Amino acid sequence: MADIKHIEHGGRGAFIVKIDGKRLAEMTYVTVGDTGFIIDHTEVDKSLEGQGVGKELLAAAVAHAREKGLKIYATCPFALRELTNTPEYHDVFSS
């Protein structure tokens, strides 16, 4: 399981994985007022591919949305596909 950090500043945010000071995975978003956020990009370094890191980043985003009472929207193809195909995320996903 990856060590995921959440950063947020000025209406933008990200869930990131850093190893040895290098950002090796990220899922970025932009806020939508006070009601939600749009995941717009997911990137995982080749060294972490196939380890489920993208899904862990999404799980962190879903946990954040639930904790804050927010809805998730997605323009990122990976996030959109995973949110659509994961019924347990439908409580926070707004297509």
* CATH code (residue 31): 3.40.630.30
Q: Is residue 46 part of a domain?
A: yes
Q: Is residue 94 part of a domain?
A: no
Domain span at 60: 4-89
Residue 29's Cβ-count burial label (10 Å; 0-12, 13-18, 19+) is: buried
Q: Is residue 72 part of a domain?
A: yes
pLDDT digits (tens, 9 = 90+) for 29-59: 999 999 999 999 999 999 999 999 999 999 9
Q: Is residue 95 part of a domain?
A: no
Q: Is residue 43 part of a domain?
A: yes
Q: Is residue 12 part of a domain?
A: yes
Q: How distant is the alpha carbon of residue 75 from its chain centre? A: 12
Residue 49's Cβ-count burial label (10 Å; 0-12, 13-18, 19+) is: exposed
Q: Is residue 53 part of a domain?
A: yes
pTM across the whole model? 0.94
